[in-house]
Structure 1
Amino acid sequence: MLGFSMIQLTRNYSERFDKDLRQKLIHLYKPFRRTPCFLHRPLENFLKRTKKFPVIIEFDQKDVPLSSSLKKARQLVRKKARSKLKYEYSSTSSCSAILTASSIEKLMHNDCHIKKIYYDREVKALLDVASPSIHAEQLNEQGLTGKDVNIAIVDTGVHPHPDLKQPTNRIIAFKDFINNKMEPYDDNGHGTHCAGDAAGNGFSSNGKYRGPAPESGVIGVKVLNQMGSGSLSTIVSGIQWCINHKEEHQINVISLSLGAAADESDCNDPLVQIVEKAWESGIVVCVAAGNSGPDQRTIATPGISSKVVTVGAIDDQNTVDRADEEVASFSSRGPACGGVSKPDLLAPGANIISLRAPGSFLDKITKSNRVEDNYFSLSGTSMATPICSGVAALVLQAYPEFSPDEVKQQLLQAAVDRGLPSYVQGAGYLDAEKAVTLNDNSGKSEKSTQR
């Protein structure tokens, strides 16, 4: 078995293939156990030509521009059937592709300046008193509502719910990387709930169910399908789109209630790279910690990034009294890959009532979660993350000159310490009012509320 070409390839280039791709290439030989030896070579050649692998190729750009590396890679792949390069991600010097094993072998044996190839694995969505419990209502009453701050919900889409459309339409833009539709929709329901967690205005409930930033604009970026799953490449495409259209749509915050299991051997995977590029471009990125708690070292990627705001979930017991709150058992614990201290903070994430997308997948299979006609109850760090994103919008409304690093520092300094280990709570429980009033002595907050 060791003499087969894909085995040799994974051994020779082990550092240039992520763990998932190495396993996929080695599993190419799984049928050989039941195949006569004299057929091994013909079968290997057949599988190398026909078996396709979705991948993300990261190029090393120290000496050669990305355009040159892509050109050479395209020329090599074009000669191979069943293979093609798909989308270019300029922010991370990478591209997505569909490659056969033979194409991968060809690329590695030629000098295409490839730094690493990742298997384009699956990424999933991470599944009434939340705003009062984080003290957002006090800010809303002072005029801090997220107005003129836009939040991109990178998820399953956004349903044109009345709480986002009335009295004025706040769905600023919509981009669909799954079905390429032009008008806002959500066939799963998860993204719509997240949009409401951040920016629902309670129009259909007389203000009862609303997010911390009820006047923020919403940009829907659909990267997950009807079942709530996608791939590394679609997520990277969605975030790259946000970076490219940051100025056009005035994207200030990205909310990512999705993730995949982190590879402890690689703390700088494509998702980490692209969220950090978004951060460096001036966009605050809030990411779900994951729902794999209470075990330690379960933070999902891209929440393992040291730059972004990684959000765990607290169960507020459906009260505004913080005395009876506890960290949700499902909330992932740190430390993250490479020993990074995560999560950064906690926000409400249990039994959160937010916007319903009628007829969506979640709406059909969990009818018992419906609340009145227009709302829906869900739990998870998925819900905690957009709540934090809404608070980030309030901070940016108060301090529009703040960089992502300054917004993060403001959120962490204002968090209420619960007396728990940092790998459980991070800095503590999110406090919106304190996050905005920390700098009251400078006069900034007072000025911003008078705008």
Structure 2
Amino acid sequence: MAHPRSRRRRAVLAVPVGLALTASLGLLSQGASAAPQAPTATTAAEGPLLSYVVNTTADKTTVDSVKKAIKTAGGKVVTAHQQIGVIVAHSANPEFAAAIRAVPGVQSAGATRTAPLKPVATTEVGKPEKVPAPRTSARSAAKALAAGKEPLEPLQWDLPAIKADKAAKVNPGSKNVTVAVIDTGVDDTHPDLAPNFSAKQSANCVGGVADTSAGAWRPYTEEDYHGTHVAGSIAAARNGVGVAGVAPGAKISGIKVSDPKDGLFYAENVVCAFVFAADKGVEVTNNSYYVDPWMFNCKDDLDQKAILDAVGRAAKYAQRKGAINVASAGNSNFDLAAKSIVDKSSPNDSTPVERTIDPANCLDVPTQLPGVVTVAATGVKSLKSYYSNYGQGQIDVAGPGGDKYQVPELPAKDGRILSTMPDGDYAYLQGTSMAGPHVAGVAALVKSAHPKASPQEIQWLLKQQADNPGCPTAPYDPNGDGTVDATCTGTAHVNSFYGYGIVDALDAVTE
């Protein structure tokens, strides 16, 4: 989906007014490998200033040696994550990547974007089309509270859909479990988020270096609502205000990774976020995005290979440190197990060039990285949302993401997901961006019930406890136009639409 003023936001970002966000990204190469020779000193900047990830063997000697080579090749080291062997650098030398790839100890290196870096400045940005905040009468709010519900909870069809309302009465989640929202920032001043917010596990990772100063994790503007909405679905408190989250007793943190100029999520920011979350002891990360500027990063492109490598190392590091990574599958209705996919939107930081990619060679990052829980979206009828990506062997589990074609009964009336917005507001959104947080919330409940469970064990429990509706018996035509929009394959136990099924919050705290 395009932003209201053509300013691309997140690939899996959902929009407030009924459109599922259509993912966009992808192409362009930085060239072939260079001859195996050490770089010579570069004295003049001859090209656009770009950001690079340089991946090395993870030891101090090698990292220090490569840092010196980066300077010699006309680059500037921004930061080095020695624990995973990833260095972030800037350079205006058009031969920088080729030169660095020839340095001993370098395993991959490439530009993280196709457009040049620009000084960070406050920019005038378009605002999303406003969705009126849901209103309830004093009588209905009092009735909801008397029934043990939050004032706006009757509008949250998604909670009973995964039995999260029942789970909250058994175990609402532990304060010892934190879900890091890697996103556009989180407004921790929201009354539904403030009680559960962990400032000490929050940061702004834009540029690749974690800024932990007070409030650095908050959205830049009102337009950066995405992360705040995600956070509410995970852990909005049961405090008599607004809505409830899936794990209302767990902690949430915000790690901002969206660029202030274009809203995109570049590799160096995401690497920083995973490493920061891991080092701060986060138990779950939620990733409702893909790494820009490519919708799919292909192993046979040297730049994209470097992005795959860098983000993959960071995600794996978080897993080794005990975090389970949950990611949204994407909103293009792509069959991720198909023999080929046409990507018309990459690179999304400059001029997109249509390309046909091989899913076996090209991955949506981070959702298709090894060990990451890949989440598809469903609507109120437990049917795959019309926009959700799918694929046999590609989807792990599903969760409520909303669907304008699947409308609940009164009083909800809206098939999208209601959650928190900046400045104390609430709104409906839809997308796999909304499905991921429901699964992240359930993962937090599993961790709360099983504190010693590893990320691999939590993923297994999510799958084992999931409820699979099975492939639809009728042709999949969600908008009723007579065209079959996707074909479900697999069994009643595991299939291309739902993976192992829709997550079950009650089972998470009782089994």
Structure 2 residue corresponding to 1:199, chosen from 221, 225, 235 = 235
Q: Is 2:290 aligned against 1:239?
A: no
Q: CA shift at 1:375, angstroms?
A: 0.5
- 1:37-116 alignment runs, 5 A limit: 49-59=46-56, 61=57, 66-81=59-74, 83-99=75-91, 100-109=93-102, 111-116=103-108
- For residue 290 of structure 2, what is the aligned residue in structure 1? 259
Q: Which amino acid aligns with 1:275?
A: A
Q: Secondary structure of 1:116's partner? A: strand
Q: Secondary structure of 1:255's partner? A: strand
- 1:303-342 alignment runs, 5 A limit: 303-316=367-380, 324-334=381-391, 341-342=393-394
- Deviation string 1:33-63 (CA, Å, 9 cap, x unpaired) is xxxxxxxxxxxx999833333211111x3xx
Quick check: 294-303 or 189-198, which moved more?
294-303
Q: Is 2:443 aligned against 1:392?
A: yes
Q: Using the alignment, how far apart are the partners of 1:430 and 1:182 within structure 2? A: 35
Q: Using the alignment, how far apart are the partners of 2:368 and 2:453 within structure 1? A: 23
Q: Secondary structure of 1:97's partner? A: strand
Quick check: 173-182 or 232-241, which moved more?
173-182
Q: Secondary structure of 2:218's partner? A: coil
Conservation of the 8 A alpha-carbon contact between 2:100 and 2:109: no
TM-score of the superposition, structure 1-length normalised? Answer: 0.72
Change (3 A) 1:331 1:67: same
Conservation of the 8 A alpha-carbon contact between 1:139 and 1:145: no
Which blocks of at least 5 consecutive residues in structure 2 are unaligned?
1-25, 33-41, 115-155, 342-362, 403-415, 472-488, 490-494
Q: Using the alignment, how far apart are the partners of 2:447 and 2:438 within structure 1? A: 14
Q: Using the alignment, how far apart are the partners of 1:392 and 1:87 within structure 2? A: 32
Question: How many corresponding residue pairs?
Answer: 357
Change (3 A) 1:176 1:208: closer
Q: Which amino acid aligns with 1:239?
A: F
Q: Using the alignment, how far apart are the partners of 2:371 and 2:45 within structure 1? A: 40
- For residue 292 of structure 1, what is the aligned residue in structure 2? 332
Q: Is 2:214 aligned against 1:182?
A: yes
Q: Is 2:251 aligned against 1:209?
A: no
Conservation of the 8 A alpha-carbon contact between 2:53 and 2:87: yes
Q: CA shift at 1:121, angstroms?
A: 3.6
Conservation of the 8 A alpha-carbon contact between 2:170 and 2:509: no
- For residue 142 of structure 2, what is the aligned residue in structure 1? none
RMSD over aligned Cα atoms: 2.7
- Deviation string 1:113-133 (CA, Å, 9 cap, x unpaired) is 2111133148xxxxx121111
Conservation of the 8 A alpha-carbon contact between 1:165 and 1:171: no
Q: Using the alignment, how far apart are the partners of 1:325 and 1:105 within structure 2? A: 50
- For residue 428 of structure 1, what is the aligned residue in structure 2? 501
Q: Using the alignment, how far apart are the partners of 1:112 and 1:229 within structure 2? A: 32
Change (3 A) 1:333 1:270: farther
Q: Using the alignment, how far apart are the partners of 1:118 and 1:139 within structure 2? A: 46
Structure 2 residue corresponding to 1:161, chosen from 146, 165, 190 = 190
Larger radius of gyration: 1
- Deviation string 1:167-218 (CA, Å, 9 cap, x unpaired) is x765554211238452152231111111101001254xx4662111112111
Q: CA shift at 1:434, angstroms?
A: 2.1
Q: CA shift at 1:413, angstroms?
A: 0.6
Change (3 A) 1:76 1:93: closer
Change (3 A) 1:415 1:58: same
Q: Which amino acid aligns with 2:160?
A: P
Q: Is 2:461 aligned against 1:410?
A: yes
Conservation of the 8 A alpha-carbon contact between 2:171 and 2:445: no
- For residue 39 of structure 1, what is the aligned residue in structure 2? none
Change (3 A) 1:121 1:431: farther
- For residue 180 of structure 2, what is the aligned residue in structure 1? 152
| Higher RCO (C-alpha under 8 Å, 6+ residues apart) | 2
Which blocks of at least 5 consecutive residues in structure 1 are unaligned?
1-19, 27-44, 123-127, 317-323, 336-340, 359-372, 439-451
Q: Using the alignment, how far apart are the partners of 2:426 and 2:323 within structure 1? A: 29
Change (3 A) 1:52 1:353: same
Q: Secondary structure of 2:389's partner? A: coil
Conservation of the 8 A alpha-carbon contact between 1:146 and 1:390: no
Q: Which amino acid aligns with 2:235?
A: A
Conservation of the 8 A alpha-carbon contact between 1:164 and 1:170: no
Q: Using the alignment, how far apart are the partners of 1:429 and 1:333 within structure 2? A: 13
